Amino acid sequence: GVIERKHYDLRESLLKAANGDEHHWSPTAHSVFWAERVTHRRSTGASPYFLSHGVHPLLPLDVLEATFLLPPPDSVLTTTDLLARRARELQK
């Protein structure tokens, strides 16, 4: 079902953020859960954070460039790759 799919995405994102080491997921969990909450959903057009609080979250951005601190991806990312990427950014 739909709920199980979201759990799968979170699990895969945890593993990717921990560089595939399933024993190292604990330190990355907070960043993965935060990345999941601040990522826009196609179904709602907003992030769960925005829907809950009515404001956009404050993210670690480069103020001059107004971009995340990593260069943009070369191709379209899957949900799990996007969440893992953002989790790594949030850990910096």
What is the per-residue pLDDT across 54-88, written as a single tens digit (0 to 9) for each?
988 877 664 444 555 667 788 888 888 888 888 88
For 78, half-sphere exposure in the C-beta direction (CA atoms, 13 angstrom radius) is 9
The residue ranking higher by pLDDT, 69 or 44, is 44
Q: ∠ at Cα 78 (66, 27), nearest 5°?
A: 75
- Return all residues near 18 (Cβ < 8 A) that are at least 6 apart: 24, 25, 27, 28
Q: Is the pLDDT of residue 90 over 60?
A: yes
The residue ranking higher by pLDDT, 73 or 39, is 39
- Where are the domains positioned within the chain? 2-90
